[in-house]
Amino acid sequence: MHKNALPFPYKISPLDPNLNESLLQKFKGETKQFVKVGPEEYFFPSKYETEAEKIYNFPVRSDDVWVVTFPRSGTTWTQELVWLLCNRLNFQRARTEHLAARFPFLEFNVFADDTRLEEFRKENQGNIDHLGIIEHMSTPQYEVLNNTQGRRFIKTHIPFSLLPSNLLTSGAKIVYVARNPKDVAVSYYHLYQMFRTLDFRGDFDTFWDCFENNLVAWGPYWSHIKEGWNQRDNPNVLFLFYEDMNKNLVSSIDKVAEFLDTSLTKDQVNELVDYLDIKNFRNNPAVNFDSLKTVGICRSDQVFIREGKSGGWKGKFSEKLGARADKWIQENLRTTDLKFSE
């Protein structure tokens, strides 16, 4: 950490022991302690406590490009769009070099529980390539990014209040994407089952209960989204709705291109639309964490890029749960002028 580092400004508190023990039975990726952070009580695994100040003091560069989202809000799709626009539509590199290498996930190591890491190492002992993948995962990406030459592309799910204090005034470009919470929850449920670093054990109704009560990583959902929405007029921030991207990708490409000071011909736009089409995108191994499946961090029977559509929640919510979710959404929208697209 640099010599002018700022102290982390928020209190980090362990979860109530009884609640923590209950959650450890549901979320097997963490083996020690969940914590809550700051006045909004953002929810993280125990390793965040040792990383919070380092992330908060991460040196931002004026030419950085960030994608900030609550999980499962179209993050990967947006990352690939942003990276291609800034790299002259280099589809060849995008298809062959994993997105995580081109666009590092700032806090990825926070979710690498030491006990789980040791399990992965034992499962892959003797395979140098596999062990290299595991070590990369456990390496703080802020260290990798600090040593990156040229323009940096950074993904994070951390809300603005816990990110570097100068991020919003540094000149860095930030794309924030929001998505309907019911679709987020369904997609997040599948992610929690796919990644053994998260490893949720339970049905969707149980997961929704945790989601609604701010007991999933990076939650509370509403605090996160409202922090993003409150920055929508910041000239360094482009706030997008996933539903709008889905409905009119061409228009969204134009918005992002203008924000990033790039321009495309009509043919280039069409080529990009075809590349990002969900039917093609989900078959791209460079964005699907296939290497993590190889070493057993992700379950091989799950897919990272799923349906990529809006309204997919309708097949997962019972009528009773849907009504409960709608009430919760309406209550939280009363205090903001944020509105989700249909």
Given the residues 130, 157, 190, 224, select the one marked as catalytic. Answer: 157
Conformation bin of residue 298: beta by default, left when phi > 0, alpha when psi is -120 to 50: beta
| Assigned token pair, 255 | 């918005």
Q: What is the largest CA-CA distance in the chain?
A: 58
Alpha-carbon torsion 127, 303, 185, 10, what sign? positive
Q: Residue 91: helix, strand or coil by DSSP?
A: helix
Side chain identity at residue 325, one-letter code: A
Identify the burial level of 207 via C-beta atoms within 10 angstroms of its C-beta, where 0-12 means exposed, 13-18 middle and 19 or more buried. Answer: buried
CA distance 205 to 211: 10
> Strand order in 65-69's β-sheet?
153-156, 65-69, 173-178, 237-241
User: Whose structure tokens read 């960030």?
Assistant: 66
* Spacing of C-alpha 337 from chain mean position: 24
Give the DSSP letter string of 252-287.
Answer: HHHHHHHHTT----HHHHHHHHHHHSHHHHTT-GGG
Spatial separation of the C-alpha atoms in residues 245 and 222, rounded to whole Å: 21
Q: Distance (Å, rounded) from C-alpha 202 to C-alpha 25?
A: 10
* Cα–Cα dist 219/229, whole Å: 16
The burial of 119, by beta-carbon neighbours within 10 Å (0-12 exposed, 13-18 middle, 19 or more buried), is given as: middle
Q: Give yes or no: 157 in active site.
A: yes
The residues that are catalytic are 157
